[in-house]
Structure 1
Amino acid sequence: MARAPKPCRTRAKLTTAQKAERRNKLDALTGAIDNAKEAYAQEAIDIAQTHGRSLKWTRSQLFLRSHLSQRGRGVNSWNGFIKAKLREENEDCERGDRIKLTQFIADNKDELLEAYSRLTFAQRHAYNAEVLEARAQKRHIARANPKAKHHDINATFIGMDHEWMALCARTGIEGFYVGVRGNIEDLSEPKIFFTQKAEKFVKEVLHVEPRHLGLKLEAFVVSGLDENTMITRQRPLNKLISDCRTIIQEELESIALKKNIKKAVKMNYINYERSIVEHCGVALVGWPLPGPVCNPSKVGGRAEVQKLLSALQREHHHSESCHWVVLTDEELVQRMTENRARHARGEAVYVARKKRKVTSAEHKSNTTIDTDTEDSSDDTSTSDE
């Protein structure tokens, strides 16, 4: 006798709102359990640090060894390597056009295995570090727990206080630290520590109570003044000019070392083409102002000096940066040819060197000084104007 089929029970299809409600409930339950685990784990850390017990012993006393121990999965360098390669492959692809992991491995298995076999230990360790960092960031975002964070901060600063006091007792060192919350959502109070002499310094020299110093720092950070405060007082023009000269000189010395020029090279603005470009084979490119390279004190007013300083402070790969480059042999020959042609047309490319006045005692030798040192001293006196 054939068995009668069981009646098929059908359930009504869940609506989008019902699915979202179930998902929210599951997320809330999972978050509550994770928060409780982290809170209990942090309580164990606090007890261990306060009473000088090991964390393993404290967890065993609280029956946390088997139930709440959070052991992460092991890191596999092969997985990190595959994810990095897949990320590179899908870097320029839109969301719907990206290659799936399984398909990527199937299509490139031999090449991936060969490339993975050539990795050094350090490279594999780097892939492992990327995976661990990604896990930590993901876990921090998904399981933000203010209470556990508060416990962590308190326990850390209690340990710092003990270490500081022990260090002061052993070595006699003096100092202080101030720690405040980084945003308005954090509820941690300011943490301060002052040794006796450091507290006296803050009170008598800075005329601020130690506790008030922490509160002022907290107000500054939480209010966003550290990011939005604009410095309205302009720097003096001579300071801007000095910064330009310093950057130019330091970069010139750096590129001279790369060219194995052992002799100290001093920037010469008056005879720049002869003493620097032709003699050293380097050139300052990206000059942002009209005219040739000259002393920053001669470029004009504040606006011109600030423009030059901004160009000097930009990174070398920036299109508007001003920096030193090494000229090739062909570029140097072409530069020298152009300089002589410009000088022949009447441009002041090669400035005549000043002659030293001959005194009566030196009249017999009839000696004149005709070296680059004269140009450098003249340039120095000009720059100090």
Structure 2
Amino acid sequence: KLQDAISVFIQDQSNRLHELAVAHDVSDKQVKDILGLKTHYHKECHMQLRNVIVHVKSKELNEGRPSGDKYSLEEIQNIIDNDPAYKQLSAEEEQDYIDQLNEYRALKMSGARTNNMSAARDAVAVMDRISKELHALRDRAGIYATVLMVRGHVNDQVQSTWIATDNAHKFWEDRLSLALDDVAHQFEEWACNEKKNISEHEDLASLQKQAAAIMMSKLCMFFLYSFSFISADVSSGRATGRMDLTMNYQNYEKAIVLVYGVKLDGWPEGLPFLAPSHMHTVLEVRSLRDALVTGACHWKKLNRRELEDLRTDIQRRSDAGEVIGTVGKKRSDAGK
């Protein structure tokens, strides 16, 4: 029978995995991870409309109520089930509810914790997750990695710590003559005493640098994940194989969108499309910086149809006499 054969196969496989683990003095789990029998990456689940409505209704009913007087999940669900209005939502209403939940999730992900203790627990949990992911990646891909985490203020309760796969910590000792503990200590001094963290730097020049750096780092990361380390010239099909991306605001449509097939989506409303260094108020640059940090403004990949539509639109505007981007100054020796 097929089922019996499958059972025998699974048992044989388990025995073989155990033999490999014993032979190489590692755990069975490590062998399974290397063979890829465990899924390490999970796609984010799409929002269910039911959960979205429950979130919105919960906020509506429980906001401002004391903790002992709030509606339970079951009570909220019963209220929704008995309200016919939620069974006839328009597409616009559904999208509005989804946007509210997205905003709430973004705040939970990037918002400051209510006190130092909860911030410290959050830091420990995240570093533990990073450690597990890095060590699993080491087993699968043979990488070396070092991660440092320190507090950003002297009053924070976050404990400085570091993660190093295998003997990666030896790099710091061999090449820089510094133990990782010393590096972490100096890093903490730099962050706390010299006040180099982002929250301490809200002046115009610092915000401009932050916005520009975040924008380019997100563009590079977008290419790493979307194009497998290759920056492609979408219009011609060429691939440079290099991450030598440079932002070009003056010729954005031609030099960025058409060449790389991506665009900035969610640029803050009412904010002129300029390089951060050309913005002249803290409010403008901060709104851009915050939008980039939360993901409200992000890089989006365009499909072939969208690129063709843009190329056609640029040609139409150019034929109508509009100057697209900036025209380079003509060389004095041109034509000679």
TM range (shorter): 0.3 to 0.5
> Which has the greater radius of gyration?
1
TM-score by length of 1: 0.31
TM-score by length of 2: 0.35
